[in-house]
Structure 1
Amino acid sequence: MRSADTAADRTAKIVGAVWGLLVLNTLGSAGAVTIVPLPRSLIQMVTMGSLVAAFALALLANPRVRVRASAYVFLLTLLLVPSLISSVDQGAGLGALFRCTRLALFVGTLWLLSRWWDGGTTFVRHHIRMYFAVLGSVAAGLVISPGAALPDLYGGRLVGALWPLTPPQIGQYAAVITGLTVLLLLGRRTDRTGAAVIIVPSLALLALTHTRTATLGLIIALGLAIASLVLTSGAARRVFSWAVLCAAVAAVGFSSALQAWFLRGQSQENFASLTGRAKVWNALLAAPRTTSQHLFGTGLGDKSFGGLPIDNSWLAVYNEQGVTGIALVAAIIIVLGGVALLRPPSLSRACAIFLISYCAIASYTEAGLGDASPYLLHLAVAASLLAAPAEPVPASTPAARRRPVPRWARTSEAT
């Protein structure tokens, strides 16, 4: 028994390490200027190397390649088809094929990890732990060099001074682990002290990023998740009631302050165009396309159009994987959301609803649903939460295979 427990603990540590490497891979290589300049080629080598290591470790933990049926990973696998067709057919170059290889390794690693998807909160804890470590590096950069962490180039918003992270990235990580930790606290899976250690600094960093998408995503998605627990949790009912009351007070008493915060010093026209995003979106939709480009896109790229970021998951998918890609990404959201709504109220269901809702909200102003990204990792955690519990493996020891003892030979219980 002790050797079996040791093997299980070792496997659990490997799975946690694999998840950490996947998080590292999706941090990206472009962002703010760091305190110590890091060549982009070095960052790309580290991130790609972490994905290869993640796949190798996942294979080490699951050498017989035992996987669980997962509609989410299956749809991601299908998403590789338009990605490859467009990258090869459109002559997008080696860069697009490299990104296809990266996506294939990413999906393959998720398949290997699906063996441990059992509806529990194990991967929620891995997710919180890894992204909190990333936020720790952001906080360390802020302490070491406040000027580099709050540069004028980004309007004084918080960036990664040790690793090149943009304000939207930091805001996303802070919002996601804050929401998940709040739900674990409501589900009594963590204590108040442990939750405060995560929530307080994460909210502080979120405020310093001044990221509207992450803030709204956290509020709306967490509200939906808590509402799903209202019928079964008294704590959720109390939190939901207080949240509604505070929202009403803030809307009435602090409307001007909230408006100023959301405008972020921008003009009404700039705010209405979503900081210039609408101009890029209109140009992308107006660009002429062949039938093949309309169906399968132009190949995996850097999520930009005309040298400017697209900042919309649906339009980025349309540009790179066509309407076929949009249909598959929409199917992912619909399937996960539908399964979550059909499940009975539980903590796992609430966490899944939070992650799915957050990704759906953020998809309007952030790209990432069509390629290896933190958003696909969020949805992978949601898929693990919605997976049915694994059936117990029948005993295979020699004692279990022994023939039953005849009734006449059994010792009486009375004796």
Structure 2
Amino acid sequence: MSTAHTPKTVGTVWGLLVLNTLGSAGAKTIVPLPRSLIQMVTMGALVTAFGLALAVNLRLRIRAGAFLFLLTLLLVLSVISSVHLESGFGALFRCFRLALFVGTLWLLSRWWDGGTTFVRHHIRMYLAVLGTVAAGLVASPGAALPDLYGGRLVGALWPLTPPQIGQYAAVITGLTVLLLLGRRTDRTSAAVVIVPSLVLLALTHTRTATLGLLIGLALAIGSLLLTSAAARRFFTWAVVIGTVAAVGFASALQTWFLRGQSQENFSSLTGRAKVWHALLTEPRTTTEYLFGAGLGDKSFNGLPIDNSWLAVYNEQGVIGVGLVAAFVVVLGTVALLRPPSLPRACAIFLISYCAIASYTEAGLGDASPYLLHLAVAASLLAAPAATAPLPAPGVPRRRVPRWAKRPEVI
């Protein structure tokens, strides 16, 4: 299936999935939004997304792959672990949400053909989200940079936390840089995405997102060095500029990185290590060890877990950890085995970013932006659809006009 025939409705569905994964907990907004209202909007977006995906794919044509198959097994495991109601009826509701989420991805898989269509949907939707963050910053700087979060940027119009904003900014920055290097977009369009995203990322003081962006881009661009002169030039200039910045602005970079924290607080990952130790030492039955306690709010004793692997272990057991590790490893292995290309580089960036962020952020075991990032990676690694046959000998080929070869606008 060619990306040229992808219905516009698919982009709408992807935007609704992004809306569903924004969450309902975060900073105080300029206009107070009841959490129940936000949950109605996000859940309504998911139901609408599933309905639209079903309407545009009534014949239920799908492209089976290991990622979606393992994600479906994780859904089954989540239901099994949640039926005991150790996490309350909310666990079953979260299973229903995950079922709609996975079902929508299955319906959209019909258009996964190794092209960059879903990369563009991803960039556009998260750019729109960052647009609301920027609007909130302009409308009320005090609400967007509250003392409660240490002056870090939050969502003043929609309750978004600094790590969320940093994640969105880092992901679309990395993807846009790769599209620019692959000549799939022009410099003006790339600048419109990259410049404001980097400014917002800096204002969030999010270390995980920054490291994920830098390491992910290094790995992705490294996969293009042998085949792309633009990638080699970019890599060389990045190394030079990075070295100069590290030497000339070492003190400022250290201050930004520490965020005013003490050495003890920094070494304990802002208190995360204490929660992780308590979770790992908690006595568990064999059933809880294997299957977990059911889908919850990614917290332990009222404190956020902030680690995808431990959150999955707590809610879906060691079997869940194995399934999550399996689909991450499968995507990474497929990406490494593919020949160098722009889709492969984008997939490597997304997989690397999710792997790095999983250490200090939860989300790989439930409907979340991280699963959307990996779904885009899966779409990039899908086998291309059959191409049209070459014209018979003696039949002239149709010339492609110059305007059709120009980079697309994001």
TM-score with structure 2 length normalisation?
0.92
Give, in whole Å, the separation in 2 of the partners of 1:244 and 1:322.
42
Residue aligning to 2:392: none
The reply to whether residue 190 of structure 1 matches residue 185 of structure 2 is: yes
What amino acid sits opposite 1:54 in the alignment? A
Give, in whole Å, the separation in 2 of the partners of 1:159 and 1:92.
29
Quickly say closer, same or farther: Cα 1:391–1:216, change in 2 above 3 A: same
What amino acid sits opposite 1:291 in the alignment? T
Give, in whole Å, the separation in 1 of the partners of 2:221 and 2:132.
30
3-state SS, counterpart of residue 23 of structure 2: coil
Alpha carbon RMSD of aligned pairs, Å? 1.4
Alignment partner for residue 292 of structure 1, among 270, 287, 293? 287
Which range moves more in the overlay, 88-97 or 269-278?
88-97
- Summarize the alignment of residues 99-178 of structure 1 with structure 2, pairs less than 5 Å apart: 99-178=94-173
TM-superposed CA distance for 1:93, in Å, is: 2.0
Residue aligning to 2:401: none
Residue aligning to 1:405: none
Does the 8 Å CA contact 1:72/1:332 hold for their aligned counterparts?
yes
TM-superposed CA distance for 1:302, in Å, is: 0.4
- Summarize the alignment of residues 314-393 of structure 1 with structure 2, pairs less than 5 Å apart: 314-391=309-386
TM-superposed CA distance for 1:392, in Å, is: 5.1
Quickly say closer, same or farther: Cα 1:52–1:393, change in 2 above 3 A: farther
TM-superposed CA distance for 1:256, in Å, is: 2.7
Give, in whole Å, the separation in 2 of the partners of 1:230 and 1:14.
36
- Summarize the alignment of residues 54-73 of structure 1 with structure 2, pairs less than 5 Å apart: 54-73=49-68
Residue aligning to 2:47: 52
Give, in whole Å, the separation in 2 of the partners of 1:197 and 1:260.
28
3-state SS, counterpart of residue 311 of structure 1: coil
Alignment partner for residue 258 of structure 1, among 253, 258, 263? 253
Residue aligning to 1:279: 274
TM-score with structure 1 length normalisation?
0.91
Give, in whole Å, the separation in 1 of the partners of 2:255 and 2:25.
29
Which of 1 and 2 has greater Rg? 1
Alpha-carbon deviations, 1:164-190, whole Å to 9, x = none? 000000000000000000000000000
Aligned residue-pair number = 387
Residue aligning to 2:228: 233
**Identity fraction in percent:** 83
TM-superposed CA distance for 1:90, in Å, is: 4.9
Give, in whole Å, the separation in 2 of the partners of 1:93 and 1:316.
17
TM-superposed CA distance for 1:393, in Å, is: 8.6
TM-superposed CA distance for 1:241, in Å, is: 1.1
Does the 8 Å CA contact 2:133/2:155 hold for their aligned counterparts?
yes
Does the 8 Å CA contact 1:82/1:322 hold for their aligned counterparts?
no
Does the 8 Å CA contact 1:58/1:112 hold for their aligned counterparts?
yes
Does the 8 Å CA contact 1:26/1:373 hold for their aligned counterparts?
yes
Give, in whole Å, the separation in 2 of the partners of 1:194 and 1:392.
29
TM-superposed CA distance for 1:80, in Å, is: 1.1
